[in-house]
Amino acid sequence: MPFRTIIEPFRIKTVEPIRRTTRDEREVALIEAGYNLFQLKADEVLIDLLTDSGTSAMSSAQWAGMMQGDESYAGARSFYRFESAVREITNLKHVIPTHQGRAAERILFGSLLKPGDIVPNNTHFDTTRANVEYRRAKASDLPIPEGKQPQLIHPFKGDIDLAALEHLLADPPARVPLVMITVTNNSGGGQPVSMANIRAASELCRRHGVPLFLDACRFAENAWFIKLREKGYADKAPLAIAQEMFSHVDGCTMSAKKDGLANIGGFLALNDDDLAQQCKKLLILTEGFPTYGGLAGYDLEAIAVGLHEVLDEDYLRYRIRSVEYLGEILTREEVPIMQPPGGHAIYLDALSMLPHIPQSEYPAWALSLVLYLEGGIRSAEIGSIMFGLQPDGSEKPADMELVRLAFPRRVYTQSHVDYLAEVLIHVNALRERIRGVRIVEAPPVLRHFSARLAPAHGALIVD
Ligand SMILES: Cc1ncc(COP(=O)(O)O)c(C=O)c1O
């Protein structure tokens, strides 16, 4: 077609109102939430970019599929549809449904890890890290050095550092029961991993007899980036690229709340028969029988359809372009963001925007609060509140202080994105007046979900 505009490739059939609030109302809401955006009521938020997880709009085909859900306890038709959708993409032998991604992680790590073990990953997501540490094993992040420089442009900043991985596998200070690669690398800025990197990591792992698993939440977005950026893939279909990604690994954990286009669900898939047996034992104990694993039959149907729709080229083109579009405006207006824009989110670089706030006063957290106060936008800190607390109770500043604006799938339109850009440009203009925060109380693990904070200097924005 001769036209350049990339449109939302869908019509809207059902709408859900969003509520405007005043700045005064948001100020009160923040105090009541203990300056923690996770503690807000969703009705107090205008544009909710807290997460892209479980927040997708489902298609009419998914809703229709749900009506066909088979709720039989064992051997439901819906399970076989789900299993065959997962197998078509992954070609992995055992497909184990779970209620979401972290349940797959807990079951896998519960079966594989012993205290003192090490799990390398390009970058562990917070629940993945917490589940590794819960088994008293060590989560080791090995991103490539380029992945830690927010302003640097690189096509595959999500790649795992192969030299560091080889070094660790050749001379491990402890047992390495598996290696993981997260596609795309959520905590590292939603950055993709190249096929070459997955292939090389796979060869390395094979040489050392260690299984390689994908944390595959955003496998379709990763496949699209490979198509756009990696030589030899431009003419391949996203499905074929995804199949090739999975052909290099021994298993995966998956949150279907992302690239499953579902509101709940996940799975663990793997080839090893003995390990699958172990995992199924744990599954029955805590999730459910292996043909439903904590999900309703209708959830399995929604995921089966979602896994197919997510690999549609028009969908992926629109999806990645929406994020890139916001990235282009912000770059033009000199709002510091992680470059290049990731697949599911824009990451504001709070260390660059707020150099006057020390990491001990959590600049990314403060910035996320100001975005809510000024524009009703909810985002997520990926910085020292999320990652600073060490298992021994000490504090270590995170490598980066990012604010993630994660886009729910098929939910917001271009005018929402234009509004977002306006708010972000406005907040950037206020940046010298923004101040940091301090922790009032926090739990010892996953503190970002429930910690209570307060402005460190009386107000978030000073005159
Ligand atoms: C990379 C990654 N891994 C694992 C998870 C955990 O998935 P879930 O939220 O379904 O438990 C997430 C969720 O955000 C994620 O982004």
Q: What is the pLDDT along the chain (463 residues), one digit of tens a residue?
A: 678 888 999 999 999 999 999 999 999 999 999 999 999 999 999 999 999 999 999 999 999 999 999 999 999 999 999 999 999 999 999 999 999 999 999 999 999 999 999 999 999 998 899 999 999 999 999 999 999 888 899 999 999 999 999 999 999 989 999 999 999 998 888 999 999 999 999 999 999 999 999 999 999 999 999 999 999 999 999 999 999 999 999 999 999 999 999 999 999 999 999 999 999 999 999 999 999 999 999 999 999 999 999 999 999 999 999 999 999 999 999 999 999 999 999 999 999 999 999 999 999 999 999 999 999 999 999 999 998 988 888 999 998 899 999 999 999 999 999 999 999 999 999 999 999 999 999 998 889 999 999 999 999 999 9
Of all protein residues, whose CA lies closest to atom 3 belonging to ligand 1?
125
How far CA 60 is from CA of 10, 65, 305, in Å, comes to 11, 8, 10
255 lines ligand 1 (CB under 6 A): yes
53 lines ligand 1 (CB under 6 A): yes
Helix, strand, or coil (residue 36) = coil
Residues 6+ positions from 362 with CB-CB distance below 8 Å: 381, 383, 384, 385, 401, 436, 437, 438, 439, 453
Distance between Cα 461 and ligand 1 center (Å): 33
182 lines ligand 1 (CB under 6 A): yes
Of all protein residues, whose CA lies closest to atom 15 belonging to ligand 1?
125
184 lines ligand 1 (CB under 6 A): no
Q: Which residue has the tokens 């990339």?
A: 6
121 lines ligand 1 (CB under 6 A): no
pLDDT in the model for residue 254: 98
Q: Contact at 8 Å (CB) between 148 and 140?
A: no
Ligand 1 pocket, mutate which of 186, 221, 287, 386 (most atoms under 8 A from CB): 186
Residues 6+ positions from 255 with CB-CB distance below 8 Å: 53, 100, 101, 102, 104, 217, 265, 266
Of all protein residues, whose CA lies closest to atom 9 belonging to ligand 1?
101
pLDDT in the model for residue 151: 86
Q: What is the Rg, in whole angstroms, of the alpha carbon atoms belonging to the chain?
A: 21
The answer to whether the pTM exceeds 0.85 is yes
Ligand 1 pocket, mutate which of 52, 56, 183, 217 (most atoms under 8 A from CB): 217
Q: Which atom of ligand 1 is nearest to the CA of 53?
A: 14
